[in-house]
Structure 1
Amino acid sequence: MSAHAAPAKRVTLAALAAKKDAGEPIVMVTAYDHPGAQIVEAAGVDVVLVGDSAAMTVLGYDSTVPVTIDEMLMLTKAVRRGLTRPLLVGDLPFGSYEASDELAIATAQRFVKEAGCDLVKIERGGTTVDRARALVQAGIPVVGHVGLTPQTATALGGYRAQGRTADAALAVIDDAVALQEAGCSMLVVEAIPSEVTEVLVSRLDIPVIGIGAGADADGQVLVFHDLLGLYDGGAAKFVKRYAELRVAAVAGVEAYATEVREGVYPAPEHGYAMAAGESDRLQELLSAGDSIHRA
């Protein structure tokens, strides 16, 4: 972009709806810190999700379940400071919204007021539909999430595809329709057959963002650390590596460690020198018994 070019417009929900209507794919990616936010901003993505996947990719938990509201808020605030153009979605962590409408609203308000989220994301259908409706009525835009829902993966039989039978697919579709009717502005569908995604896209007016849900979705989302090869854990079948940054990072740190141990780094060009004549004067002061502690 030239020095005189107009800044890119901020993404809006209306703009995403227009993309869906025009068949123009929507790009969503996760981010969890300020540098990551700056990277995805520079890459020109449309939507940034501070996912509770941060529990595993950033915080070292074994699943998404243990991550707390305060941990998610800290990460989301950092991402907000690195974004200008994309919409920001905050993932409400497990246990922070399920019990009641009041709890859901109180949690979501923190993500909007303290972290600057444009939308919040909640998982599943069922009673979550009631939570979504309450949030929308409270003036908070909501992203729904159906299919594989990591917060309740144990109840779903583990991290595996959902909706693979006609009955199971109908349940996913029913949940998705109910979330739209509750007022959700967008829907994430995870690890479902492409045939089910095709049905959802044709029946829903809101954008459908897929992750492991085939090419028929209105947009796609991937985890930052997965697509860049930064996460050392196992990757799902649907993940495509677009870079291997962990390999490059390990190699870089190894090269640094080798140079330190061999006395190669730091070289003279990596240091600072005193002003001309000051080194000699310092030696004179030291020889005279002067010190920084003198009266």
Structure 2
Amino acid sequence: MSVTAEHKNTKVTVQVMRKMKAAGEKISMLTAYDFTMAGLLDQAGVDAILVGDSAGNVMAGYDTTLPVTLEQIIYHGASVRRGVKRALLVVDMPFGTCCGNPYESLSNAVAIMKGTGAEALKIEGGEELLQDIKKIIAAGIPVMGHLGLMPQSVHQYGGFGLRAKSDTEAEKLKRDALLLQEAGCFAITLEKVPASLAGEIAASLSIPIIGIGAGGRVDGQVLVVQDMLGMNRDFSPKFVRKYADLSFAITQAVSGYISDVKSLEFPSAEESY
């Protein structure tokens, strides 16, 4: 079962996610960037849908998430909103839109909320952006934090490798997670950090910790849906489990279509007016 009987028909809110953690029920989260995919994920019963700035990678073909604009995330978010009924809808704040100026960050956050119909925003960063995050939360906008590997900081890291391997970085990660909870974040995503560290943080905080490449001792998991469905043959990081091979299925279907068109097998008399 993709959802428990208790929450199968319940609209997922930030309060429901907190109750799920308290009850020990794991939280499922996937990305979506368009109406059709969002509707399928929602009907399947996923608890939360993230309109990630990973759209820059999987939808636009960029090497990083950095080029994604405010207007683009609003377009994707509004498209997804129309397909979602039950899941909690979370939208990323793109690179540069939560920027160390709390008033400008709030203005951008409000634009995303108004333009998409999102129910929460996800923001990469810890102590350095704490005042921005507090300002956004004070305005009534739920915020999910994002720590560990933060793709918007890829050039600072020099790549997409495992984070918090050193004691110094691990201690900062734990401090940042606590600060985000104290600031009012309703959840935190931890990306590509040691499983033991992620588990320690999840056990020490009262808010849900959603992992991606962070092991199984956290409160839930998130994956990019194209990765999980096997649509990206050339992208197979250790933390991705492929539940389908849609890359093969789609290319086979398209090949069949091409063959039928060229051989005049399609359309048939029954498929013609």
Query: Which residue number corresponds to residue 136 of structure 1?
Result: 137
Q: Which runs of 4+ in 1 moved over 6 A?
A: none
CA distance in 1, matches of 2:109, 2:80: 17
2:24 is aligned to: 23
Q: Which moved more, 1:85-94 or 1:167-176?
A: 167-176
Match for residue 239 of structure 2? Answer: 238
What's the counterpart of residue 154 of structure 2?
153
Does 2:109 correspond to 1:112? Answer: no
Partner of 1:102: 103
Structural mapping, 1:63-74, within 5 Å: 63-74=64-75
Structure 1's unaligned 5+ residue stretches are 1-6, 273-295
Partner of 1:51: 52
Structure 1 CA distance for aligned equivalents of residues 207 and 118 of structure 2: 19
Q: Distance in 2 between matches of 1:99 and 1:258?
A: 55
Q: How many Å apart are 1:99 and its aligned residue?
A: 3.7
* Amino acid aligned to 1:30: T
Report the equivalent of 2:163: 162
CA distance in 1, matches of 2:234, 2:69: 21
Deviation (angstroms), 1:168? 1.6
Partners of 2:18 and 2:186 within 8 A in 1: no
Q: Determine the C-alpha separation between the residues in 2 that align with 1:168 and 1:67.
A: 28
Per-residue deviation, 1:61: 1.4
Instruction: Give the Å deviation of 1:243.
Output: 0.4
Which letter does structure 1 place at the counterpart of 2:268? A
- Classify 1:228/1:183 alpha carbon distance in 2 versus 1 (closer, same or farther; 3 Å): same
CA contact (8 A) 2:189 2:209 kept: yes
Query: Alignment length, in residue pairs?
Result: 266
Q: Distance in 1 between matches of 2:150 and 2:28?
A: 20
Structure 2 matches for 1:75-90, cutoff 5 A? 75-90=76-91
Task: Please name the residue that 2:4 is paired with.
Answer: none
- The answer to whether the 8 A contact 1:98-1:127 is kept is no
Q: How many Å separate the matches in 2 of 1:164 and 1:231?
A: 28
TM-superposed deviation, 1:126: 2.9
Q: Report the equivalent of 1:281.
A: none
Q: Deviations over 1:133-190 (max 9, x none)?
A: 1111111110100000001012123101111122221111111111111111110000
The 1-side partners of 2:236 and 2:130 are apart by 30
For 1:181, the equivalent position in structure 2 comes to 182
Q: Which runs of 5+ in 2 are unaligned?
A: 1-7
Tell me the amino acid that sits aligned with residue 156 of structure 1: Y
User: Contact 2:227/2:235 (CA < 8 Å) preserved in 1?
Assistant: no
Question: CA-to-partner distance for each residue in 1:252-288, whole Å, 9 max, x for gaps?
Answer: 011101111111111111100xxxxxxxxxxxxxxxx
Distance 2:24 2:154 in 1: 32
Q: Which amino acid aligns with 1:27?
A: S
Amino acid at match of 2:36: P
1:47-91 deviation digits (Å, cap 9, x = unpaired): 110000010101121210001111111011010000000110000
2:11 is matched with 10
Q: CA RMSD in A?
A: 1.2
SS at match of 2:206: coil
Contact 1:124 1:149 in 2 (8 A): yes
Shift of 1:95: 0.9
What one-letter code is carried by the residue in structure 2 that aligns with 1:263? Answer: L
Alpha-carbon displacement from aligned partner over 1:221-263 (angstroms, at most 9, x marks no partner): 0101000011344232101100011211111011101111111
**Which has the larger displacement, 189-198 or 166-175?**
166-175
**SS of 2:157's equivalent?**
coil
Letter of the aligned partner of 2:138 in structure 1?
Q
Using the TM superposition, give the Cα deviation of residue 37 of structure 1 relative to its aligned residue in structure 2, in angstroms: 0.4
Cα distance in 2 for partners of 1:79, 1:119 equals: 14
Percent identity, aligned pairs only? 39
Say which one has the larger Rg. 1
SS in 1 for 2:29: strand
**The residue matched to 1:192 in structure 2 has which SS?**
coil
Amino acid of the structure 2 residue aligned with 1:262: S
Q: Is this contact kept in 1: 2:137–2:143, CA < 8 A?
A: yes
Distance in structure 1 (CA, Å) of the matches to 2:158 and 2:171: 18
| Corresponding residue number in structure 1 for 2:5 | none
Looking at structure 1, the residues matched to 111 and 246 of structure 2 have their Cα atoms a distance apart, in angstroms, of: 33
